[in-house]
Structure 1
């Protein structure tokens, strides 16, 4: 009895390796896009606003003000800094105690406000500053305007570049995987024609080719995801602070994107290529 030929032949393995490499590169770009976004959020949410409080503000008013601000959508975190704490920080930073020669503590109590990333654009900052100054207990609002402008500008450039690179690599990936699958099906073009001659339907002829390439997409996607996950794990293990930008959610999104792209593109390319040879006449096959 003749043994059934396995689909996992050398041609399958070669196509799988090529597809894995392409999906790995694509996944790497998606990974960089997501981590760049996480880095953007992290940087913007760690730029603090200082709301300088009136020197005569009472403790009950401070508590009420903090509770009121914590309810605002734009506030991520608030840290209260007392007059004494501000003086200690100044002494530690400058090495001198200004209260010794001034005769009093020259610093006011303040609240260090960190905003949610979605509220760090210039327009939002202006109305947030205006709203804060409407409170009579807040006499001044200070924030690093130049730093914020620089961060927003540079992060926007990086995001546009990475998104453009992702689109370009997607087109290149489609082309490379499509060529690999076309060459595989090209070698079977006479078999396809023979099956047509014996009366096999187009759906029947397509089925094994699509099934084979579906498996290539699944296994290649899994292999690419294994490499990407291992690299992310090693990066976080080497530098645990990277967990802020290389989050488990980002790794999961990349894994899903790579797998879905791998399945769709291999199946679609197989469908397009097989239809091409199904339409050909015998004279066009040579």
Structure 2
């Protein structure tokens, strides 16, 4: 395409926005409202997904070593557990350390047991994939020298099922919202193009090619998407900044944490802008097709 033709297409797309100010306002408003909803929903779902990941990573297997196991047997068990498929990490805690933790948590009354410690040496094991915790625990339980294995059997499976369901529901809702946005914005842009169908017919009758007619409208759709993304980007940024400023100090040292303001907010804003451009271009492209058949 010649530079002069390209410049002409850009000029026409800008002029069209001004000539059809009310339709431009309607289209930008539809894009703005829809992208704002999408942006807020993405903020919520991504943070819920992080919470789910944090909960999964916090799941561990507590392995009690038999009281009859000596130091060599314990080291051999640690080597065997480390070598098992699906094991991410193994941390060893002596029964003295376990008792000290109990004293710290529940008070000095438990220090009476220091002379006759009834606890077990313990391995804390984490699986590479938290969803495989149950299978890893069963493999460890089969090793010789293991007294017991606990990982929240029954509860863990329910937790993982709930987290998987939450992720799937969130993905479906985001996709449904995006398709709804594309439908609404496409129809709004279609109304704009219907109002200018005679202009398109005249251009076709004087010999303009389909792409010569189409490109200014596609560029116009792109500008509508960009303009419609500006307010959602600003509002989403301010909203998440205030939420993180309020919540982060109160969530220090807690299991549940929000995603850091940066670079997460840049990723969300980039997604909003790309969605605005895509929806605007796609809406214009699909809406103008029927009017090119003259």
Q: What TM-score, normalized by structure 1, do the two folds share? A: 0.79
Q: Would you say 1:264 and 2:281 are equivalent positions?
A: no
> By how many angstroms is 1:134 displaced?
3.5
In structure 2, distance between residues paired with 1:272 and 1:279:
13
Following TM superposition, by how much is the alpha carbon of 1:63 offset from its aligned partner in structure 2, in angstroms?
A: 5.5
Q: 1:86 & 1:220 partners in 2: Cα distance? A: 58
Query: What residue ranges of structure 1 are gaps of 5+ in the alignment?
Result: 281-286
Aligned to 1:165: 173
Do the aligned partners of residues 102 and 273 (structure 1) sit closer, same or farther apart at CA in structure 2, a change above 3 Å counting?
closer
| Aligned ranges 1:1-286 → 2 under 5 Å | 6=15, 8-9=17-18, 10-11=21-22, 12-59=24-71, 62=74, 65-66=77-78, 69=81, 74-95=86-107, 97=109, 100=112, 104-116=116-128, 118-120=129-131, 124-221=132-229, 223-240=231-248, 241=251, 244-246=257-259, 251=265, 254-279=268-293
C-alpha separation in 2, matches of 1:234 and 1:76:
37
Residues 101 and 238 of structure 1, relative CA distance in 2, 3 Å threshold: closer
Offset at 1:62?
4.8
8 Å CA contact 1:90–1:97 kept in 2: the answer is no
Q: How many residues align?
A: 274
Task: Compute the displacement of 1:59 (Å).
Answer: 4.8
Greater Cα offset, 67-76 or 29-38: 67-76
CA distance in 2, matches of 1:65, 1:237: 46
Distance 1:115 1:220, change over 3 A: farther
Partner Cα separation in structure 2 for residue 194 and residue 39 of structure 1 = 57
Question: Structure 1 71/101 Cα, relative in aligned 2: closer, same or farther at 3 Å?
Answer: closer
Aligned-residue offset at 1:154: 2.1
2:7 counterpart residue number: none
- Consecutive unaligned residues in structure 2, runs of 5 or more: 1-10
Instruction: Provide the rounded CA distance (Å) in 2 between the counterparts of 1:7 and 1:73.
Output: 63
- Aligned to 1:114, the other structure's residue is in SS state strand
TM-score, scaled to structure 2: 0.77
